[in-house]
Chain A
Amino acid sequence: MEKILEVKDLKVSFQVYGGEVQAVRGINFDLYKGETLAVVGESGSGKSVLNQTIMKLIPMPPGKITGGQILFHGQDIVKKTDKEMEKIRGKEISMIFQDPMTSLNPTMKVGHQIMEVLLKHQNMKSQQAKERAIELLRLVGIPMPEKRVNQYPHEFSGGMRQRAMIAIALAANPSLLIADEPTTALDVTIQAQILELMKDLQKKMDTSIIFITHDLGVVANVADRVAVMYAGQIVEIGTVDEIFYDPRHPYTWGLLASMPSLDSDHKSELAAIPGTPPDLTNPPKGDAFAARNQYAMAIDFEEEPPMFQISETHFAKTWLLHPDAPKVEPPEAVKRKMRKLSSTFDKPVLVKEGK
C-alpha cells in the first residue's frame, strides 16, 4: 500500500499569555492511500492542532512547529513556504470544519465558493467551473443544484451546508481529506447521512481521510484505523478492531467505558474518567494521564512511558505493557467486548526511540 502521509516526531506549541502551550508533543503516525484514520480524544488533546498543522493552517505566531517532519508524498510540509502551501491546500489536501454554519462565507454564493477551488487549481474557465460546481453539488446529494448554486449559505440548512463544504473540499480531487469533527454540529439523523456520503465519495475517489472526532460511535462507523490522543500525544493507535476489542491503554479503556452502547442489556454503569486533562503549559512529569489513571503505578509519576508494540499495527504508550508491570483487569464494560485477535504478538515489544 502506498504511504501518502508520514508524521514524524511532530511538536507544535503556542506562545500564550502565561507561557508556552505544548499542544502537540512528539507525534508519529503513517497514513495509507484510501485509508481512513480516526483521531479521537477529549477537547484540548491536541487533535485539531495536529491536523491544522498538517495543512499549516495554525496561525504562526503564536503557533510554532518546534520539531519533527510531516512527509506528504515524501515531501516535508514543515519546510514549505506559504506560496508552496497554496498549491497543496485545496488541491492535494483539503479540510472540512466542524461548524458548517460558520465555515462558509455568508456573503458569497455557495456556487462561487466551490468555483474558487476549481478556478484556482483546475485552470477552469468560469462557465466550465460553474457547470462543475453544479455537478459537485449534485454529487454530494443537494437537490436542484442548478438553483442552489446561486444561493447564499444562509438559504441552506446545516446538513446541506456541510454537504456544500464537502463539495468544496473534494472539488479538486485531493489525495487527503481532513475532516475536523464534521458531524458534531449536526443532528443525529443528518450525521448518519453525512457519514454515508463521505464513505461513498471516498470509495469513488480513493481519497485518504483523517477523521477527527470525540465520538467513538462515529469511529466504529467510518474508520479503518484509530489513533487515541491524550495531552498532545498519541497514546494508542491500531486498527478499529484492535482499539475496540483489544485496547491496551487505560485511557482508551476509559473512553470505551464511558461510551454508552445500545446493546448493553447489562445494567452497566457508564464510567466517567475522573478529573480533567493536564495543563500543557507545564506538562506533568511522567505519564500525562497518570493523575487520572486508576491503574497508575509509581513509575507513571516519574517517567514517561515508551511506546509498546502489540501487533503489526497496534501500539500503546503505557507502562502497563512493561514485563514487570502487574496484570490488571480493564473495566467491566471493556472486558466484556475483549476478544483475542490473531495478529497479536505473544508479548508486547518495546519500540526503540525514534522508531
Chain B
Amino acid sequence: MQQISKEKFQIVGVKATDAERISKPSLSFWKDVSIRFRKNKLAMFGIVLLIILIFMAIFGPYMTKFDYSTNDLMNTNKPPSSTHWFGTDDLGRDMFARTWQGARISLFIGVAAAIVDFIIGVTWGGIAGFKGGRVDEIMMRIADILYGVPYLLLVILLMVVLGANLTTMIIAMTITGWINMSRIVRGEVLSLKNQEYVLAARTLGANVTRIMGRHLIPNAMGSILVTMTLTIPSAIFTEAFLSFLGLGLTPPLASWGTMASDGLASLQYYPWRLFFPAILIALTIFAFNVIGDGLRDALDPRLRNKG
C-alpha cells in the first residue's frame, strides 16, 4: 500500500457547508423555462417569424408610397413589380400596403379574441375551481352544455345575424371560445388547491387572496399562457374562414381572410392575389403554433414529448 501520512487520518467530521451545498446552480422557474424554450429551435424560429410579422404589421404600410385603400383603375391586377411589390388587386390597390394593413387586422382579431377568452375563462374557471362544491357543479355544467354547441356553426349564425364587423366577429368567436380556457383554469386551480404546499399555506393561516396570488395564479400561468398562444392562430383561422363564406369584413377594410377570399376567385389568372395573404396566414398560424408548443414543452419538461 502506498504511504499515506498519518495526519490524513485525523477526524475532521462533517463539513456542513459541503453537505448542504447543492452542486448544480439552482434556477428560478421562469429562468429554467426560458432556457428550455430557447433550446427549442422550432419555437425560436416561430419567435423570429412573429417578430418580423409584427414589425411589418406596424411599419409595412408606411414602406410603400401607396395607400391600402386607394383605387387605381389604370393599374388593376398587376403582377408583383418594382413599383407594386406584391402586385395590385382588381381595383388597382397596392397589395403590399393591403397585406400589412391586413396583418394588423388579423393579428388584432387574434389577440383580442385571446384576451377576451382569457378574461372570461380565468374568472369563470377560477371561481368554479376555487369555490368548488355546488357552485363549481353548476358553473361547469353550464360550460359543458355550451361546449356541446358546435363552435363554427354558432359563429356563422351570429355573423349572419349581427352583420360583419370587427366587434361582432370578436363577440362571435369568444361567445363559446372562453370555455376551453375556463376548463383549463379550473383544472389547474382544483389540482393546485389540494396540493400540499397550498394546504400547508392554508394551515399556516394564509388567506384566500394570498393563496390565489402567491400560489395558484403563478402556477396556472403556464397553461393559461399556452392556451392563449394557441387561441390566436385559431381566431386568425376563423376570421379567414368567415371571409371565405362571405361573412368577413367589408371593404375597404382588408384582412388576410378577405384578401385571400378575393384572390381565390381569380386564382387561375392572378395567383399572387391569393399567394401573399395565404402564405402569411399559414406563416402566422405556424409561428403561433410552434411558439405555443415550445412554451408548453418548456413549462413542463415531463410533457416534452407531448404533441
Contact = CB atoms under 8 A, between A and B. Distances in A.
B282 to A, nearest CB: 33
A297 interface: yes
B19 A282 contact: no
- Summarize A's interface: helix, strand, loop or mixed: loop
B113 to A, nearest CB: 36
A316 B22 CA distance: 27
B271 to A, nearest CB: 46
B10 A292 contact: no
Nearest to A298: B8
A292 B13 CA distance: 8
Contact of A299 (B8, B13, B24): B8
B14 A294 contact: yes
A281 B10 contact: no
A296 B10 contact: no
A303 B6 CA distance: 14
A334 to B, nearest CB: 17
A229 to B, nearest CB: 19
A217 interface: no
A293 B14 contact: yes
Contacts of B1: 350
B9 A275 contact: no
Given A275-B19, A350-B1, A296 B13 contact: yes
A297 B24 contact: no
Interface in B1-35: 1, 4, 6-16, 18-24
Given A276-B19, A299-B4, A291 B9 contact: no
B14 A297 contact: no
A319 B8 CA distance: 10
Contacts of A328: 11
11 contacts: A275-B14, A275-B20, A279-B22, A297-B9, A298-B9, A299-B8, A299-B9, A301-B12, A302-B8, A303-B4, A322-B4
Given A275-B18, A291-B18, A296-B12, 13 more contacts: A18-B24, A276-B20, A278-B23, A279-B22, A281-B24, A292-B14, A292-B19, A293-B14, A295-B11, A297-B9, A298-B7, A299-B4, A326-B9
